[in-house]
Amino acid sequence: MKKVLVLSLLSIGITALAHAQATRTWVSGVGDDVNPCSRTAPCKTFAGAISKTASPGIINCLDPGGFGAVTITKSITIDCTGTLGSVLSSGVQGIIINALTTDKIVLRNIDINGAGTTLGTNGVNLIQAGSLIVDHVTIGNYSGQGIIASNASNTPKIDVLNCVIANVNANGIILFNGGGGVKMMVADTQVLNVGANGIYASGAANIVELRDVNVSKAAGVGFQIDNGSSTAYLEGVTLFANATGLNSLAGTNTRLSRSVITASTANGITGAGTTRCFGSNVVEGNAGTQSCTNANVAQQ
């Protein structure tokens, strides 16, 4: 009887260990998802590693590899700094985030690409989370959006830092929220050759800051903000060779400083919203309308 009890306790202990989650896990191009995702026995995919990673936890890339599309449902950092870590998601979305409204997500140094016979749909889709940081990430070759915040339940904070978004058929970045406003900063980032708008803040009560951002050759608007009570601050922003440079719709407020809007094929600056130009901006060489609502306001 004692022997049976001991064996049962050992079995329970082994099962518990098998299901334990580590704070830091690893993926490798030569890994295997049956592994525990440790440094010496890494997993093969992000999807395989995330189930073995505690919240909040970190998934690191051990060496170069394509680690597959993943759905994130908890606080997690995926960091491939120091190597080439990628997501190839032909026909599907690259990274879906559908976590709790308090969860914090970080994506760092990842190449997210939808290339293939059938292009991927969206690069990053934020359905729900408390915050999202996208840092040194490259996104390209999608039939839909580069980054979309499609949340309907909360007001997440989004930071897009040192990124390149190129060759997507819809919008580079779009806030399409029904949850009552997003606070987003985009800094040191390029949005190039997109089929719709470069950066599009749709929905009410958004607060957007663009700092040292270049949006070039968008088939639609370089930067568009709509819905009343939304505000935008643009500093050091270049909107070059887009159909329209900036469109600020009725009820919105946009402020520009040290920015350049040029070579727009339709309009430089348009829309019924308030657009105020502070300090030294260059709004020149555009077809159609190109004036700020209040031009050349002294820098405060």
Question: Residue 177 sits in a domain of what CATH number?
Answer: 2.160.20.10
pLDDT beyond 70 at 6: no
- For residue range 187-245, list pLDDT tens digits in order: 999 999 999 999 999 988 899 999 999 999 999 999 999 887 899 999 999 999 999 99
Whether residue 8 lies inside any domain: the answer is no
Q: Into how many domains does the chain fold?
A: 1
Q: What percent of the chain has pLDDT over 70?
A: 90
Q: What is the pLDDT of residues 78-109, one digit of tens each?
A: 999 999 999 999 999 999 999 999 999 999 99
Return d(Cα 249, Cα 265) in angstroms, integer: 19
Residue 103 covered by a domain = yes
> What is the per-residue pLDDT for 47?
98
Residue 7 within any structural domain of the chain = no
Average pLDDT of 253-268?
95
Asked, for residue 200, whether it belongs to a domain, the answer is yes
Q: What is the pLDDT of residue 215?
A: 98
Prediction pTM value? 0.91
pLDDT tens by residue, 155-186: 899 999 999 999 999 999 999 876 668 999 99
In a domain, 278, yes or no: yes
pLDDT digits (tens, 9 = 90+) for 111-156: 999 999 999 999 999 999 999 999 999 999 999 999 999 887 788 9
On whether residue 30 sits in a domain, the answer given is no
**Domain limits at 116?**
53-297
Q: Is residue 112 part of a domain?
A: yes
- Asked whether residue 282 is domain-assigned, the answer is yes
